[in-house]
Amino acid sequence: MTAELLNGKEIAKDYRAGLAAGVEELKEKGITPNLTVVIAGNDGASLSYVRSKNRAAEKIGMASDIVQLDENISEQTLLDKIRALNNDDAVSGILVQVPLPEQISEEKVLETIAPHKDVDGFSPVNIGRMYTGQRTFIPCTPLGIMELLKHTGAVEGKDAAVIGRSQIVGQPVAKLLTDQNATVTLMHSRTRELTAKLADFDVIVSAAGAPGLIKAEHIKDGAIVIDVGNTMVDDKLQGDVDFDAAKEKAGWITPVPGGVGPMTITMVLNNTLLAAKWHNGME
Protein backbone atom coordinates (compact mmCIF):
# COMPACT_ATOMS: atom_id res chain seq x y z
CA MET A 1 0.00 0.00 0.00
CA THR A 2 1.26 3.46 -0.89
CA ALA A 3 -0.18 6.40 1.02
CA GLU A 4 -2.32 9.10 -0.54
CA LEU A 5 -0.27 12.30 -0.61
CA LEU A 6 -1.72 15.28 1.22
CA ASN A 7 -0.21 17.85 -1.12
CA GLY A 8 -0.36 21.12 0.77
CA LYS A 9 0.60 23.13 -2.29
CA GLU A 10 -2.35 21.87 -4.30
CA ILE A 11 -4.84 22.04 -1.44
CA ALA A 12 -3.66 25.57 -0.61
CA LYS A 13 -4.02 26.60 -4.25
CA ASP A 14 -7.67 25.54 -4.29
CA TYR A 15 -8.36 27.13 -0.92
CA ARG A 16 -6.79 30.43 -1.98
CA ALA A 17 -9.02 30.54 -5.03
CA GLY A 18 -11.95 30.69 -2.64
CA LEU A 19 -10.26 33.37 -0.59
CA ALA A 20 -9.63 35.42 -3.74
CA ALA A 21 -13.36 35.30 -4.49
CA GLY A 22 -14.06 36.50 -0.94
CA VAL A 23 -11.60 39.38 -1.32
CA GLU A 24 -13.18 40.41 -4.59
CA GLU A 25 -16.60 40.38 -2.97
CA LEU A 26 -15.37 42.75 -0.27
CA LYS A 27 -13.71 45.01 -2.81
CA GLU A 28 -17.03 45.38 -4.58
CA LYS A 29 -18.32 46.80 -1.28
CA GLY A 30 -15.41 49.23 -1.11
CA ILE A 31 -13.40 47.19 1.42
CA THR A 32 -9.83 46.03 0.71
CA PRO A 33 -8.43 43.56 3.27
CA ASN A 34 -4.92 44.51 4.34
CA LEU A 35 -2.27 42.30 5.93
CA THR A 36 0.58 44.22 7.56
CA VAL A 37 3.65 42.26 8.64
CA VAL A 38 6.13 43.77 11.08
CA ILE A 39 9.71 42.51 11.16
CA ALA A 40 12.60 43.73 13.30
CA GLY A 41 16.03 43.02 11.86
CA ASN A 42 17.56 41.66 8.67
CA ASP A 43 17.49 37.91 9.18
CA GLY A 44 17.49 36.43 5.69
CA ALA A 45 15.17 33.50 6.41
CA SER A 46 12.67 35.70 8.23
CA LEU A 47 12.69 38.31 5.46
CA SER A 48 12.14 35.62 2.84
CA TYR A 49 9.19 34.21 4.78
CA VAL A 50 7.68 37.67 5.27
CA ARG A 51 7.98 38.42 1.57
CA SER A 52 6.32 35.13 0.70
CA LYS A 53 3.34 36.12 2.88
CA ASN A 54 3.29 39.51 1.18
CA ARG A 55 3.25 37.96 -2.30
CA ALA A 56 0.59 35.42 -1.32
CA ALA A 57 -1.68 38.19 -0.02
CA GLU A 58 -1.25 40.33 -3.11
CA LYS A 59 -1.83 37.36 -5.40
CA ILE A 60 -5.38 36.94 -4.06
CA GLY A 61 -6.07 40.67 -4.27
CA MET A 62 -5.33 41.78 -0.73
CA ALA A 63 -3.28 44.81 0.12
CA SER A 64 -0.14 43.87 2.00
CA ASP A 65 2.54 45.97 3.68
CA ILE A 66 5.86 45.10 5.28
CA VAL A 67 7.06 47.28 8.14
CA GLN A 68 10.78 46.58 8.50
CA LEU A 69 12.41 47.96 11.64
CA ASP A 70 16.01 48.06 12.82
CA GLU A 71 17.10 45.07 14.91
CA ASN A 72 18.25 47.48 17.62
CA ILE A 73 14.82 49.08 17.95
CA SER A 74 13.64 49.57 21.51
CA GLU A 75 10.77 47.53 22.84
CA GLN A 76 8.75 50.66 23.50
CA THR A 77 9.17 51.91 19.94
CA LEU A 78 8.01 48.58 18.53
CA LEU A 79 5.00 48.47 20.84
CA ASP A 80 4.10 52.04 19.86
CA LYS A 81 4.26 51.00 16.20
CA ILE A 82 1.89 48.13 16.88
CA ARG A 83 -0.51 50.46 18.69
CA ALA A 84 -0.48 52.77 15.68
CA LEU A 85 -1.38 49.83 13.42
CA ASN A 86 -4.13 48.84 15.87
CA ASN A 87 -5.67 52.27 15.32
CA ASP A 88 -5.24 52.28 11.54
CA ASP A 89 -8.60 51.40 9.96
CA ALA A 90 -6.86 50.50 6.69
CA VAL A 91 -5.09 47.58 8.40
CA SER A 92 -7.19 44.41 8.76
CA GLY A 93 -4.57 42.07 10.19
CA ILE A 94 -1.25 42.49 11.99
CA LEU A 95 1.43 39.83 12.10
CA VAL A 96 4.75 40.33 13.92
CA GLN A 97 7.47 38.04 12.59
CA VAL A 98 9.43 35.96 15.09
CA PRO A 99 12.06 35.47 16.32
CA LEU A 100 12.31 38.94 17.80
CA PRO A 101 15.52 40.70 18.90
CA GLU A 102 16.52 39.76 22.43
CA GLN A 103 15.58 43.16 23.89
CA ILE A 104 11.94 42.71 22.93
CA SER A 105 9.46 40.59 24.88
CA GLU A 106 7.36 38.38 22.63
CA GLU A 107 4.79 38.19 25.41
CA LYS A 108 4.39 41.97 25.47
CA VAL A 109 4.12 42.08 21.68
CA LEU A 110 1.31 39.52 21.69
CA GLU A 111 -0.48 41.37 24.47
CA THR A 112 -0.24 44.64 22.51
CA ILE A 113 -1.66 43.46 19.17
CA ALA A 114 -5.39 44.20 19.16
CA PRO A 115 -7.23 40.84 19.36
CA HIS A 116 -9.43 41.77 16.38
CA LYS A 117 -6.29 42.20 14.24
CA ASP A 118 -4.30 39.25 15.63
CA VAL A 119 -4.45 37.07 12.51
CA ASP A 120 -1.78 34.72 13.89
CA GLY A 121 -4.24 33.81 16.65
CA PHE A 122 -1.53 33.99 19.31
CA SER A 123 -2.81 36.73 21.64
CA PRO A 124 -3.86 35.57 25.12
CA VAL A 125 -7.36 36.86 24.44
CA ASN A 126 -7.76 34.84 21.25
CA ILE A 127 -6.23 31.71 22.77
CA GLY A 128 -8.73 32.02 25.62
CA ARG A 129 -11.61 32.48 23.20
CA MET A 130 -10.56 29.38 21.27
CA TYR A 131 -10.56 27.23 24.40
CA THR A 132 -13.97 28.55 25.48
CA GLY A 133 -15.55 28.05 22.08
CA GLN A 134 -16.00 31.70 21.17
CA ARG A 135 -15.57 33.24 17.73
CA THR A 136 -11.90 33.98 17.26
CA PHE A 137 -8.85 33.53 15.05
CA ILE A 138 -7.48 29.99 15.21
CA PRO A 139 -3.65 29.74 15.10
CA CYS A 140 -2.69 29.27 11.47
CA THR A 141 -0.69 26.04 11.49
CA PRO A 142 -3.29 24.13 13.54
CA LEU A 143 -6.05 25.52 11.32
CA GLY A 144 -4.13 24.43 8.22
CA ILE A 145 -3.67 20.95 9.68
CA MET A 146 -7.40 20.62 10.25
CA GLU A 147 -8.03 21.66 6.65
CA LEU A 148 -5.63 18.96 5.44
CA LEU A 149 -7.41 16.40 7.60
CA LYS A 150 -10.73 17.27 5.95
CA HIS A 151 -9.36 15.68 2.78
CA THR A 152 -8.98 12.33 4.57
CA GLY A 153 -12.56 12.14 5.82
CA ALA A 154 -13.98 12.68 9.29
CA VAL A 155 -11.72 12.27 12.33
CA GLU A 156 -14.70 11.64 14.60
CA GLY A 157 -14.14 8.54 16.71
CA LYS A 158 -10.50 8.17 15.66
CA ASP A 159 -7.62 7.83 18.10
CA ALA A 160 -5.17 10.67 17.49
CA ALA A 161 -1.65 11.26 18.79
CA VAL A 162 -0.28 14.79 18.83
CA ILE A 163 3.47 15.01 19.41
CA GLY A 164 4.62 18.35 20.80
CA ARG A 165 2.85 20.51 23.37
CA SER A 166 3.66 24.02 22.19
CA GLN A 167 1.00 26.71 22.48
CA ILE A 168 1.51 27.45 18.77
CA VAL A 169 0.87 23.97 17.34
CA GLY A 170 0.54 20.98 19.66
CA GLN A 171 -1.96 22.18 22.24
CA PRO A 172 -4.27 23.97 19.76
CA VAL A 173 -4.26 20.92 17.43
CA ALA A 174 -5.21 18.69 20.36
CA LYS A 175 -8.08 21.06 21.17
CA LEU A 176 -9.31 21.21 17.56
CA LEU A 177 -9.16 17.43 17.15
CA THR A 178 -11.11 17.03 20.37
CA ASP A 179 -13.71 19.48 19.06
CA GLN A 180 -14.05 17.15 16.03
CA ASN A 181 -14.73 14.24 18.39
CA ALA A 182 -11.39 12.48 18.04
CA THR A 183 -9.89 10.89 21.15
CA VAL A 184 -6.58 12.68 21.63
CA THR A 185 -3.34 11.80 23.40
CA LEU A 186 -0.89 14.69 23.70
CA MET A 187 2.70 13.44 23.70
CA HIS A 188 5.97 15.30 24.28
CA SER A 189 9.66 14.91 25.02
CA ARG A 190 8.97 13.38 28.46
CA THR A 191 6.53 10.77 27.15
CA ARG A 192 7.89 7.30 27.89
CA GLU A 193 8.37 4.97 24.92
CA LEU A 194 6.72 7.54 22.69
CA THR A 195 7.36 5.94 19.31
CA ALA A 196 6.44 2.47 20.56
CA LYS A 197 2.96 3.72 21.40
CA LEU A 198 2.25 5.30 18.03
CA ALA A 199 1.13 2.12 16.27
CA ASP A 200 -2.12 2.27 18.26
CA PHE A 201 -3.23 5.54 16.63
CA ASP A 202 -5.34 6.27 13.57
CA VAL A 203 -3.99 9.83 13.28
CA ILE A 204 -0.49 11.11 14.06
CA VAL A 205 0.33 14.82 14.07
CA SER A 206 4.01 15.33 14.80
CA ALA A 207 5.44 18.73 15.69
CA ALA A 208 8.47 17.49 17.62
CA GLY A 209 11.19 19.10 15.50
CA ALA A 210 13.12 15.81 15.61
CA PRO A 211 14.19 14.69 12.11
CA GLY A 212 13.48 11.04 11.39
CA LEU A 213 11.82 10.43 14.77
CA ILE A 214 8.96 8.38 13.33
CA LYS A 215 9.78 5.27 11.31
CA ALA A 216 7.50 3.01 9.31
CA GLU A 217 7.36 0.45 12.12
CA HIS A 218 5.89 3.09 14.44
CA ILE A 219 2.87 3.67 12.21
CA LYS A 220 -0.40 1.77 12.14
CA ASP A 221 -1.38 0.40 8.74
CA GLY A 222 -3.50 3.02 6.96
CA ALA A 223 -2.88 5.76 9.54
CA ILE A 224 -3.06 9.46 8.69
CA VAL A 225 0.35 11.07 9.25
CA ILE A 226 0.70 14.86 9.41
CA ASP A 227 4.34 15.93 9.62
CA VAL A 228 4.80 19.45 11.01
CA GLY A 229 8.55 19.07 11.48
CA ASN A 230 10.78 21.45 9.50
CA THR A 231 14.37 21.12 10.64
CA MET A 232 17.31 22.09 8.41
CA VAL A 233 19.76 19.19 8.07
CA ASP A 234 22.70 19.60 5.67
CA ASP A 235 20.90 22.52 3.98
CA LYS A 236 17.80 20.40 3.42
CA LEU A 237 14.45 20.70 5.18
CA GLN A 238 13.52 17.50 7.00
CA GLY A 239 10.39 16.47 8.86
CA ASP A 240 9.85 14.28 11.90
CA VAL A 241 8.80 11.33 9.73
CA ASP A 242 10.92 9.00 7.63
CA PHE A 243 8.78 9.84 4.60
CA ASP A 244 10.04 7.33 2.04
CA ALA A 245 9.47 4.36 4.35
CA ALA A 246 6.35 5.69 6.05
CA LYS A 247 4.48 6.34 2.81
CA GLU A 248 4.45 2.58 2.16
CA LYS A 249 2.49 1.97 5.37
CA ALA A 250 0.39 5.07 6.03
CA GLY A 251 -2.97 5.72 4.42
CA TRP A 252 -2.39 9.45 4.07
CA ILE A 253 0.80 11.44 4.56
CA THR A 254 2.14 14.98 4.18
CA PRO A 255 5.50 15.69 2.55
CA VAL A 256 8.16 18.04 3.93
CA PRO A 257 8.37 20.55 2.39
CA GLY A 258 5.07 21.09 0.62
CA GLY A 259 2.69 19.71 3.19
CA VAL A 260 1.74 21.80 6.20
CA GLY A 261 3.83 24.87 5.29
CA PRO A 262 1.70 26.17 2.40
CA MET A 263 -1.41 25.72 4.52
CA THR A 264 0.00 27.89 7.31
CA ILE A 265 0.42 30.89 5.00
CA THR A 266 -3.01 30.20 3.50
CA MET A 267 -4.62 30.39 6.93
CA VAL A 268 -2.93 33.74 7.60
CA LEU A 269 -4.79 34.97 4.52
CA ASN A 270 -7.98 33.25 5.70
CA ASN A 271 -7.79 35.00 9.07
CA THR A 272 -7.05 38.37 7.43
CA LEU A 273 -10.16 38.03 5.28
CA LEU A 274 -12.18 37.13 8.39
CA ALA A 275 -10.73 40.16 10.20
CA ALA A 276 -11.88 42.47 7.41
CA LYS A 277 -15.34 40.91 7.40
CA TRP A 278 -15.81 40.99 11.17
CA HIS A 279 -14.55 44.57 11.43
CA ASN A 280 -17.25 45.57 8.94
CA GLY A 281 -20.03 43.70 10.72
CA MET A 282 -20.15 40.65 8.42
CA GLU A 283 -20.31 37.05 9.54
The residues annotated as belonging to the active site are: 53, 97, 120
SS3 174: helix
Query: Among 118, 48, 106, which Cα is nearest to 79's?
Result: 106
Contacts of 240 (CB under 8 A, 6+ apart): 163, 206, 207, 208, 209, 210, 211, 212, 213, 214, 227, 228, 229
- In this structure, which amino acid lies at residue 20? A
The CA distance from 63 to 65, in Å, is 7
193: left (phi over 0), alpha (psi -120 to 50) or beta: left
DSSP 8-class letter at 70:
-
Own/partner contacts of 168-174, CB < 8 Å, gap of 24 or more, are 168/122, 168/139, 168/141, 169/139, 169/141, 169/142, 169/145, 169/207, 169/228, 170/207, 172/121, 172/127, 172/130, 172/138, 172/139, 172/142, 173/142, 173/145, 173/146, 173/205, 173/207
